[in-house]
Structure 1
Amino acid sequence: MRAAAAGVLALVLLLAGCAGGGDGDDGRVTLRFQSLAWQEESVEANKELVAEWNTAHPDVRVEYVQGSWDSVHDQLLTSFEGGEAPDVIHDASDDLADFAYGGYLADLTGLLSKRLEADIPPRSWETTTFGDGVYGVPFLQEPRVLIANATWLRESGVRIPTPERPWSWTEFREITERLGGDGRYGVAWPLKDPVSATLNLSLSAGGRLFHRGADGKVTVRFEEGDEVVPRTVHDQVGVDGSAPDSLLGSGGSDTLPGFFAGKYAMVPLGFSYRQQIVQQAPEGFDWQVLPAPAGADGLTQGVSPQTLSIAEDSPHKEEAAAFVDFLLQPPNMVRLALGDWMLPTGTRALADPALRTTEDDWATGTALAGHLSPAPAQSVRGYPEWKDKVATPAFQEYYSGAIGLAELRRRLEEDGNLVLARYQR
C-alpha cells in the first residue's frame, strides 16, 4: 500500500511540475498548514512530521502555522473572506458545516487516497460529510470518560464499571450519592460548555434532539431520551447534593486541584485529560479511567473529531491532499494520537499496541472507540448560533436550578427552532 501511495504522490508532483505550478521562481510549491496543536507533545509531533515531509519532498514545502482553538472559527472566517486561508486547515468536525455549505472548503471527493478512505470507518466520515461532499478528514477523537479516585472507589466497596459492564445512568446517580457527604462529593461536573457535553452523552440514552424531516429541514425536539442526562446532572446538584454547583461553569482543568485534594470521587472529562493528570497529580495519587454511564443505547456517545480540510481557494489542492495523506499514514496517525493523548480514527492506527496498553488506561479508551458516533449537531446549519444564544444559557439555568425541565424544553424547542429556521429557508 505504501508503494502505491508513493506512486500516486510522485504522479501528483510530476503533474504539478509539468503544469508549471509553484509559488516561487524555482517552481517550488509552498503550502500553509495551520495546526491547532497546543500540548507540547502534540506540537512537537506535528512539527516533526512537517520537517520529515519537507525533507522528503523538496518541491512541495509545507509551512507550519500555529493556530488556536479559542479563536479558530472567527479567525478562519476572516481568512476565508479575505482570501488568505491556509491550504491545509486543522479544525473540529462540528465547526465545519457553515464553512462547507458556504463554499469555503474543498470537496475532498476524488482527492484522497483509497488507502485513507478505506482506513477510516464510515461512521467517522459521516462527521465531515455535508450534502453530497466530504469536507474534512476526521483523524483524532476522544470519548468522554469518568476519571476516578481509585483509592476512594476501592475503599467504598462500590461496583467498579468496565466497558463490558458499565454503570447505568440510574446506578451512576445512586453511587455518587453514596460516595458524597461530609463536605465531599461523588462527582464534579465541569460544564463550561454544557451543550456539547450534554448532547454527546445523551446519545447513550437514545437522545437525538435534532430531527431532519422529509424536506431536509432540521428541527429540535426534546424527547424522553434527551431528558436522562440533564435530569441526572440537575438532580445530583440540586436534589442529592452529590455534585457541587460551584463548578458548573468551570472548565475541566479547574476541577483537578479539588480532585487531587480528595474533594470529588469522580470527574467526567475528555480522554485526553489523562495527560494533565499524569503531569499534575501528587505522588502516590491513584486514579483510573472508567467508561461513562450507559443508557438504552449502551455506551454510544457523540464525538466531534479533529479534522484536516483543504481550502477551496487553495491553488494546490492535489499537493495538499498528498500532504494530508502523509500526515495520516498509520504510524504517523499513532504519533499524532500519542501527542494529543487521543484516539485515532484510522483502524490500523487504533490497533497499534502503543494505544492498547494498560498504562495510563489507554486500553479503556480504545475499548470505547467502537461506540463513538457523530455528534448530534454535526450537520446542523446554524448550530453555533443556536448553541450560543439559546442552548448554553438554557442548560446553565437548568443545571443551576433557576428553571425547570419544562422551561428548558420550551427554550430549546421554541426559541431554538426560530434560530435554525433562518438557516434553512
Structure 2
Amino acid sequence: MNTNTTLRGLMAAVALCALTPLALHAQQTTIRMWTFLNPEGSTVREKVLGKVIADFEASHPGIRVRTEQQVWDQMTQKFMAASGAGNAPDVIWVNSDLLGTVMQTGALADISAAFTPEDLADLDNPLVQAATEGGKVYGVGQSYMIFGLIARKRFLDEAGVDPATIRTWDDLDAAAQKLTKGSGAAVERWGLCQDLGMTKIDPGILLAHLLTGDEGDPAFGETGRANWANERGVAGIRRVAALIQSGASPREGLNWTNDEMYDQFSAGRCAIITGASVRIGSLQQSTGDDDIAFIPYPSDDPEGPSRQAISNWTTSVWTGSKNPEAAAQLVAFMTRPEADEIWVTEGGTLPARASTAEKLADFLNQPSNRHMLSAANYIRSSGWVPPFGADISGYRDDMDRAIQQVVMNGADPMQALKEAEQAYNTRHGY
C-alpha cells in the first residue's frame, strides 16, 4: 500500500468535506422583501404570507426570503429614496396611490417573463392594467380591495336595520342614528365610526361624494391635479360634519388612525365603520363574529352606489436587484393559483385571479364570506383607479384636514376645500 497516496486521498476528502458547506452557502440566494405584513405575525394575512413564503422556500431550496416589515403609509416613499441610494429591497409592495409615480422613476423591473400569457390573462384587472405599459408588466396585485362600509350584522338586526336598505345617503344617516346607543358621554355604541385623523387613514364619505357624478369635472385630473372645491365636496363635508354633530359618529374620530377605528369596531363600540374590504377577515377574527357585512357607499340615487377607490399592494421587483429572476419568481409564486386560493380562503382577500373566483364560487357564497362577493361586485360596478402616472399621495390627509377645519373650527366648507385643494396642488407642483 502506498502510504503517501493514501494520505493525499484522505487529505483531499477532508478538504472537500470542509469546503462543501461553503460551496452550498455560496449558492444560496437571499431575496429581501419590503411589506407591511409580518410573516410571523398573528393576523390572517400575516399567517398566509408566512405560509406562502415557507412554500416558496421549500420549492426553491436555493432561495431564502428575508422579509423586512415597514410602516405601510411610508413604505413606498422610503423605497423610492432607497432606490435612488442604490440599496432598495429586491421585492417591494407598492401602494397603488403611488404606483404610476414609482413606475415613472424607472425603479421597477419588467417581470412579464415570470408569467405565461395565460397567467396574465387570468390576473387581468384594472390594477394590473395600471402596472402594465407597452407590453411590460411592472407588478401584480396583493390584497385587492375597495373601501366601503363595514357592519356588525348582529347590531343591525338588533336595531331593525337591513343593510340592503342602505342605498341613499339619507338611508345611511337614518341607520346611523338608529344604531347609536346612548348619547353624549354615555354613548355605548356609535352608529357610524370614521377615521378622520392625519396619518394611516382610509378614504371615506368625502371621496365618495367627490368621485360620484364627476364626469366632465373630475375630482383628479389626468395628471392628478385636485378639483375638490365644488358642490360635491361641500355636500360630502356637510354630511360627515352632520353625523358627528348629531352624535351618531364620534368626534374622537377626528384624531383616529384606521387601526384605532378598527379597534373600536372590534371592541363593539361601532355598529358600522368606513373601511377597507380586505380588513374584514381580521375583524371576524378579532370580534369572534363571522357575520360582518360589507356595504357599498350609498349615493343620492337608490339605483346605484357612489364610486370609490379600488386599492391594492402591487408586488414588484427593483430594477437594481442583483437577483431579478429569483425576485420575479417570488412575486409570481405569491400570485400563483394555489397561493391565490389560500389568500382568499384563509387571508380574507378578494381573488386576484378570475379562475380563483370561479373555483371558489361556493365558498364565496357562504354567509361568512359574502362580504367578499359584495366587495367584488362593488369593484366591478363603481370602482375607481387613479389616473395612470398620477401621484395622488397625501390626498387623504388633505381631505381630512378640510373636514377638521369645518367640524373643529367652524370653517366654511367651500373655503376649507379650497385650502385643502391648494395645499395638495402646491405640494405636487400644480
TM-score by length of 2: 0.76
CA deviation profile, 1:80-113 (whole Å, cap 9, x unmatched): 1232222222232223333222221124455543
Shift of 1:256: 5.6
CA distance in 1, matches of 2:399, 2:191: 26
Summarize the alignment of residues 154-193 of structure 1 with structure 2, pairs less than 5 Å apart.
154-158=157-161, 160-162=162-164, 166-180=166-180, 182-183=182-183, 184=187, 185-192=190-197, 193=200
Shift of 1:308: 0.6
2:104 to 101, 106, 126: 101
Equivalent position of 2:249 in the other structure: 243
Between stretches 305-314 and 264-273, larger displacement belongs to 264-273
Equivalent position of 1:6 in the other structure: none
Equivalent position of 1:65 in the other structure: 67
CA distance in 2, matches of 1:262, 1:410: 37
Shift of 1:209: 1.1
SS at match of 2:225: strand
Aligned residue type for 1:182: G
Shift of 1:384: 2.6
CA distance in 1, matches of 2:125, 2:286: 37
2:332 to 311, 325, 332: 325
Change over 3 Å in CA distance of 1:79–1:252 after alignment to 2: closer
Q: Is the 8 A contact 2:93 2:313 kept in 1?
A: yes
Summarize the alignment of residues 75-114 of structure 1 with structure 2, pairs less than 5 Å apart.
75-108=78-111, 112-114=115-117
CA distance in 1, matches of 2:125, 2:283: 33
Change over 3 Å in CA distance of 1:320–1:255 after alignment to 2: closer
Gaps of 5+ in 1: 1-22
Shift of 1:221: 1.5
Aligned residue type for 1:76: F
Q: Is the 8 A contact 1:234 1:401 kept in 2?
A: no
Change over 3 Å in CA distance of 1:76–1:125 after alignment to 2: same
Shift of 1:359: 4.7
Shift of 1:236: 0.9
Aligned residue type for 1:169: W
Equivalent position of 2:352 in the other structure: 345
Q: Indicate the structure (1 or 2) with the bigger Cα radius of gyration.
A: 2
Q: Is the 8 A contact 1:139 1:344 kept in 2?
A: no
Shift of 1:137: 0.9
2:422 to 404, 411, 414: 414
SS at match of 2:309: strand
Equivalent position of 2:225 in the other structure: 219
Summarize the alignment of residues 17-416 of structure 1 with structure 2, pairs less than 5 Å apart.
29-38=29-38, 39-40=41-42, 41-59=44-62, 61-70=63-72, 71-108=74-111, 112-129=115-132, 134-158=137-161, 160-162=162-164, 166-180=166-180, 182-183=182-183, 184=187, 185-192=190-197, 193=200, 196-198=203-205, 201-202=208-209, 205-207=212-214, 208-212=218-222, 217-222=223-228, 223-238=230-245, 240-255=246-261, 259=265, 263-281=269-287, 288-295=292-299, 296=301, 298=305, 300-351=307-358, 352-353=360-361, 355-360=363-368, 362-372=369-379, 373-376=383-386, 379-381=389-391, 383-384=392-393, 390-400=398-408, 402-416=410-424
SS at match of 1:370: helix
Shift of 1:191: 2.3
CA distance in 2, matches of 1:399, 1:303: 28
Aligned residue type for 2:254: L
Change over 3 Å in CA distance of 1:318–1:202 after alignment to 2: farther
CA distance in 1, matches of 2:192, 2:139: 36
Shift of 1:347: 1.4
Shift of 1:233: 1.4
Between the aligned residues of both structures, percent identity stands at 19
CA deviation profile, 1:186-223 (whole Å, cap 9, x unmatched): 212122355733565347733541022xxxx4422224
CA distance in 2, matches of 1:396, 1:132: 44
Q: What is the number of residues matched between the two proteins?
A: 386
TM-score by length of 1: 0.77
CA distance in 1, matches of 2:337, 2:277: 21
Q: Is the 8 A contact 1:385 1:419 kept in 2?
A: no
CA distance in 2, matches of 1:309, 1:260: 33
Q: Is the 8 A contact 1:350 1:366 kept in 2?
A: no
Q: Is the 8 A contact 1:127 1:304 kept in 2?
A: no
Aligned residue type for 1:329: R
Shift of 1:375: 3.9
CA distance in 2, matches of 1:124, 1:115: 17
Change over 3 Å in CA distance of 1:355–1:343 after alignment to 2: farther
Shift of 1:156: 2.8
Q: Is the 8 A contact 2:108 2:319 kept in 1?
A: yes
Change over 3 Å in CA distance of 1:119–1:226 after alignment to 2: farther
Aligned residue type for 2:64: V
Change over 3 Å in CA distance of 1:136–1:47 after alignment to 2: same
RMSD across aligned positions (CA): 3.4
SS at match of 2:193: coil
Change over 3 Å in CA distance of 1:326–1:276 after alignment to 2: closer
Gaps of 5+ in 2: 1-22
Change over 3 Å in CA distance of 1:76–1:414 after alignment to 2: closer
Shift of 1:327: 1.9
Shift of 1:243: 1.4
